[in-house]
Chains A and B, each alone.
Chain A
Amino acid sequence: MAGLGAQSAPGPFTQQPDLVDRYGTIIPRPPDTHKDKTTNPKVGAMDAILLQILNGLDKGSAYALIALGLTLIFGTLGVVNFAHGALFMIGAFCAVTLQRLLNLSFETVDETQTDFLGNALKVKTPYVEAWFGPQMGGAIIDWAVPLAILFAIPIMVFVGYAMERGLIKHFYKRPHADQILVTFGLAIVLQEVIKYFYGANPIQTPAPEALSGIVNLGAIVGMDIVYPVWRVVYFLFSLLVIGGIFSFLQFTTFGMVVRAGMADRETVGLLGINIDKRFTVMFGIAAAVAGLAGVMYTPINSPNYHMGMDFLVLSFVVVVVGGMGSLPGAVLAGFLLGILESFASMNEIKSIIPGIDQIIIYVVAIIILLTRPRGLMGRKGVMED
């Protein structure tokens, strides 16, 4: 993950400012923080538009990653997976788990320090700090969320593999309605398991300190656009994952076989290739993609057990807009809808059409479904009715 470790020097802003409302939308900073108050209003409008695009990009990244996984599953196995949101949520909780594991600590009595009663103070030291020294150990704990990527990949692949082998493989021949229903039930079960172990409240999982500040992205072009670093990281990370998936499918033999299987499963089977096995692996990979999206999303929005469901509905809409079974379509639609959504939440637009920010995605989906049912980039004849 080269993109993540970029610069660890502490930035000028060390604490997360109140820029994010409870829906995760960035609120533009109040004018007094602008260094230059004499900028003309034109530049201000430009700033606002760029800021909305940025806002859209990070939400769009999450949509794109989840939709990519959904499409991988649909394109290979032909299964409509309503449990994909739950996979996203499990990924987020991988980060929570790793953070808790790293914070496991033992207590020692420190004679040099006393509390207000004069007793010797008990000091908690995480094992990690004891093993690697306070400096290194502290850094490891601080970087729990990015480290959770390594932790989450094997877990998510395993979860995906188990799901496919244990349940979903029995549903290939059944109608889509049955697939929706069984995966919906599975999503409920997964949610409840997580709720049982982690409770119903959102759990704070901060980003590493070096990445939790804000950065002025506009400085290069002479504009004033301040933006949380982590969201930029999230966007870059999603590009990396998307690029990874596409090059895996495009440039490896395994990927080639999978693409062939997506086009014509039977013929590939007749050539003596065990396509089912590869599709199962793809299911695992799709689960890992959803999981990674979840891991990296934790600092943006504290994970709770129903976060997956919230994203699932939107991701499905994204898949449909992009075109069922089209991978580039899913990515494109993800970013597009993310940006559209953030533009619709601008005050200027909301004052013209109130409430548009709440429904824009659905409106677009309805229009697309009615006028171009195969979606933006869907192939002709695939799931068009």
Chain B
Amino acid sequence: MLGMNKNDTTMLLLVAALTMLAPFILNPFPTDSGLAQFNAGYPDLMQRFVIFGIFAIGFNILFGLTGYLSFGHAAFLGVGSYSAVWMFKLLAMNVIPAILLSVVMAGVFALLIGYVSLRRSGIYFSILTLAFAQMSFNLAYSVLTPITNGETGLQLSLDDPRVLGVSQTADGSIPVTNLFGLEMRSTFEMVVGPWAFQFNAGYYLCALILLAVFYLSIRIFRSPFGLMLKAVKSNQQRMNYTGLNTRPYTLAAFVISGMYAGLAGGLLASMDPLAGAERMQWTASGEVVLMTILGGAGTLIGPVLGAGFIKYFENIFSKINESVLHSWFGALPDGLEDLLVTMVYPFVGKGWHMTLGILFVLVVVFLPGGLVEGGQRVTAWIRSKKAGGNKPTSTTEPAE
């Protein structure tokens, strides 16, 4: 279907089902039950799942296919966000021109940075991208304040000179972002018994875009261009010796992946029209690396999984505080309860970053292929048990 083989079609359909039904899937617990805090089906978080999914898919096109580890990808996300907010300020509150501009701007930036950085490979490439990203971050904080509004971050205000549209609505408030009149924040709530499912317009826009770019990334992975990038990853020297100039290919991958990041930034700003410099900091770049590695670099679905996983834990894990822990272990004897709470507490709530770090180290050490490889190992193990010791064959094939 659509020029994909059977496996890829299944995967795309799976992702489509997951994203479209996310309000149900992420809301398995009734609203008034004690487990309701594990529900992730609220618009804000669901939007972030898919947006960072897009970001990670884009990063994976560069890192997963070519092996070039960029440590400055958040710069493109930031550029995207700023462009989108400026579009809202100057042109219209419609998200389409904003997203288009953010993709284009990020593409231009990626072209410039990539042209310089890709002259080197390996760790030098990482450090060059890191240097460029830190430069953008520092500039956004200091000299470029007229454009970026420095530490406060760029926001909409009541006197924005909007060409197509009004500066203020009739009741004197800032207009909201929309898609031809459909407000991004409008949410339809469906109450079924004790459950409340929320369907948000912004989320579905992001999800549709995610599906589109996921399809695009499948096509890139399976194209001759993708094959060329994989060849660069496995042995660039040999490619050069055959008389082939690899740089246009890697540059193209870099720009595409930068545009994905710009798209993610534009969507972030479309959902919530503000942009701050901290989106460009190198820890933000580290986060997308984490997502991709955790999910499985070089696999198609890995980055999406990784992004969802990290964003879920960031929001849900970090909400668990001491009293919640006490209520969980409340059934146990007092001494044991306190012991368990003190043992678990450093890893949840404010300390969830620690869990993330540990998990990350474990994944890099034991599962370099990320969650996808973990899943494959488990399925292979189950099959080998069923088949009575036959040699396991993996089902989905990582790109490497």
Contacts and interface: CB of A to CB of B under 8 A. Distances in A.
Contacts of B365: 167, 170, 182
B144 to A, nearest CB: 8
Contacts of B393: none
A69 to B, nearest CB: 17
Interface stretch (A96-104, A118-126, A356-364): A356-364
A180 B143 contact: no
Interface stretch (A55-63, A152-160, A186-194, A294-302): A186-194
Contact of B123 (A176, A309, A355, A362): A176
B204 interface: no
B127 A320 contact: yes
Interface string A169-191: 01000001110111011111101
A385 B131 contact: no
Interface of A: 80, 167, 170, 176-178, 180-182, 184-189, 191-193, 195-196, 309, 313, 316-317, 320, 324, 354-355, 358-359, 362-363, 365-366, 369-370, 373, 383, 385
B121 interface: yes
Contacts, number: 109
Residue in B116, B123, B128, B346 with the greatest tally of chain A CB atoms within 10 Å: B123
Given A180-B126, A316-B130, A366 B361 contact: no
B67 interface: yes
A374 B309 CA distance: 40
Nearest to B297: A177
B138 interface: yes
Secondary structure class of chain A's binding surface, majority of residues? helix
Interface stretch (B168-176, B262-270, B351-359, B384-392): B351-359
B128 A177 contact: no
A187 B71 CA distance: 15
Contact of B69 (A177, A188, A324, A370): A177
A317 B131 contact: yes
B52 interface: no
Interface stretch (B97-105, B281-289, B312-320, B322-330): B281-289
A326 B354 CA distance: 34
B119 interface: yes
Contacts of A195: 351
B364 A185 contact: yes
A385 B123 contact: no
B368 A178 contact: yes
6 contacts: A167-B365, A177-B67, A189-B354, A192-B353, A193-B354, A370-B120
Given A188-B357, A316-B130, A363 B282 contact: no
Given A170-B365, A362-B134, A385-B120, A192 B127 contact: no
B143 A370 contact: no
Contact of A176 (B122, B354, B368): B122
